[in-house]
Amino acid sequence: ADGRMAGAIRLVSIERGHDPAKFVAVPFGGGGALHAGALIKDVGLQAALVPRYPGVTSALGCVIADIRHDQVQTVNLTVDALDVEALDRRMVSEAEAARQVVEEAGLQIDRIDLVFELDMHYLGQTHTVSVPLPVTVEGGTTGISREIVQAAFDRAYQASFSRLLPGLQAKIVNLRTSAIGRRPHFSLKALAPEEGATVGQARRGSRPVWFDGGWHDTAIYARLELPVGAVIEGPAILEQPDATTLVDPDLKARVDDFGNVIVERR
């Protein structure tokens, strides 16, 4: 398992010209933190950041993340042939429909942001570029114009391909409308260990564990009871209800201000 994970990380790092030593892994899920040390050593990662509750990290993200609804409408017109007033009406209508979906979710949100993008390409091409439009709905209109669309396309195409193709018409393939409900800010410090915690209180004895071809007397800790700033030298096992963090003999773990565990080389 460690080898397969290491291979997958190499595909998106070394084989793309990135130095793994400049990156930190974020293992999550019930078993992710068991492999953190092996990945640090096998791939050459700088460290691994184990979230406070690895087993429910994805669920926590769903709870605190912004809510978003996307809608797509086909346009299939060149900029020169574009009916700007019709596009404006469609954008306003799509924005209202997307906003309504977000509001009907019944979640607490601070505000709703509207985002408009066009899928565009030069006439005759098959690939498209995503073109953000610098407009929103105010007073029942977006204020969209051919000039705005063309300028936005030129910026997006230039950014993607470092050049433009003068003389070719730009074509709008799709209109994409997004309503994003911004959730209230959630401070991850709310998950931090309680004041007064000590390393000694978190200790749960020790037991022999097999590392790198031999048995090692390994300290066991209740991970959630470790205080901020605690440093645990490996070998060690940090236990909690939703996950287990393995600290290899040549590694160490420390607890940051948010209760995350940073596994790194000694």
pLDDT one-digit tens code per residue, 6-32: 898 898 888 888 898 999 999 999 999
Amino acid at 195: E
Return the H-helix or E-strand segment holding 110.
Answer: none
DSSP annotation of 140 reads T
pLDDT one-digit tens code per residue, 189-238: 999 998 999 999 999 999 999 998 999 999 999 999 999 999 999 999 99
- What would you report as the CA-atom Rg of the chain, rounded to the nearest whole angstrom? 26
CATH of the domain spanning 66-182: 3.30.1490
Residue 108's closest CA among 70, 65, 69, 71?
A: 65
* SS3 per residue for 34-99: HCHHHHHHHHCCCEEEECCCHHHHHHHHHHHCCEEEEEEEEEEEECCCCCHHHHHHHHHHHHHHHH
In the chain, domain spans: 2-56+189-265, 66-182
pLDDT confidence of residue 47: 96
User: pLDDT class for 115, splitting at 50, 70, 90?
Assistant: very high
Q: Give the count of alpha carbons within 13 A of 172, CB side only.
A: 27
pLDDT one-digit tens code per residue, 131-166: 999 999 999 999 999 999 999 999 999 999 999 999
